[in-house]
Amino acid sequence: MKTESFIKKQPYIIAGPCSAESESQLLQVANKIKDIADVFRAGCWKPRTSPNSFEGFGKRSLKWLQKVQNETGLKVITEVATAKHVELCLSAGIDMLWIGARTTVNPFYVQEIAEAIKGVNIPVFVKNPIHPEIGLWLGALERLDKSGVHKLCAIHRGFYNYKKTGYRNDPKWEVPIKLREYVSHIPIICDPSHIAGNASLIEDVSQIAMDINLDGLMIETHALPQTALSDSEQQVTPKELQKILSNLILR
């Protein structure tokens, strides 16, 4: 695979809420983290288990991300799961895209996304599939590469738990380590929020990610986590984010 490196700083930090809930909610967090994060995240389309859960504000929330770009100078990233999402993000000038765990499992969707991005030099982050099948993770990166997407990064967000482990998603650290053996030139960051499932565990998971030399962190951050419309238990406040990052020991 041909890759163009675009991650110039280590650890590379992506932070922001699980979901884009309103313009003011995004600006409130973005203004507080603009000096400690490299990229601002927020999900506009949310893949929820139940259709009765909040599924995101879709297209109209892309405008709120543009406001974050203009007001804070932060780069912004959101999740895409279909060619339509890609098209809307590209026309809204979203800086980077991520493919979620529920999409990486489906080669048809990954192929559709890869073809929709073709010819556009945008960084794409690929989360691991829900179950620990490294071939699917690698296959998704290869599909993007074959479409000419060369600014690639993998995101390790843990795996569905078949047994209780104390984590929302089992980290199975051996899997990202194995991925690195296969594609040593592709950076891998960790998403401790979806591994932990609980704000109190984020710091420890982040430290392990640094100890195994992952390249960065994606941490869900919300001004008032208890009011969040999705993943409220695992989101940290901007203050807590700052503390987590300053406590990290980089060896």
> For residue 220, what are the CA distances in angstroms to 90, 102, 228?
23, 18, 11
Residue 157 contacts ligand PEP per CB under 6 A: yes
- Using the rule CB under 6 A, is 47 a contact of ligand PEP? yes
Stretch that binds Mn ion, among 26-34, 113-121, 128-136, 228-236 (CB under 5 A): 228-236
Give per-residue burial for 95-108: e unless 16+ CB within 10 Å, then b: bbbbbbbbbbbeee
Nearest distance from C-beta of residue 126 to ligand PEP, angstroms: 10
Residues numbered 124-153 forming contacts with ligand PEP, rule: CB under 6 A: 127
* Interatomic CA distance for residues 154 and 174, integer angstroms: 14
The footprint of ligand PEP on residues 13-32 (CB under 6 A) is 18
Q: Residue 14, interface with Mn ion (CB under 5 A)?
A: no
- Closest CB to ligand PEP belongs to which residue? 100
Is the separation of the CB atoms in 152 and 179 below 8 Å? Answer: no
Options 68-76, 100-108, 138-146, 239-247: segment touching ligand PEP (CB under 6 A) = 100-108
- State the number of binding residues for ligand PEP (CB under 6 A): 9
Q: Is 79 in the site for Mn ion (CB under 5 A)?
A: no
Which of 16, 43, 192, 216 is in the footprint of ligand PEP by CB under 6 A?
43
Give, in degrees to the nearest 5, the angle at Cα 239 between 75 and 159: 70
Q: Are 100 and 37 in contact (CB under 8 A)?
A: no
Tell me whether strands 12-16 and 39-41 are parallel, antiparallel or unpaired. Answer: parallel
Q: Toward ligand PEP, which CB reaches closer, 226 or 246?
A: 226
- C-alpha span between 49 and 53 (Å, rounded): 8
By the criterion CB under 6 A, which residues form the site for ligand PEP? 18, 43, 47, 100-102, 127, 157, 194
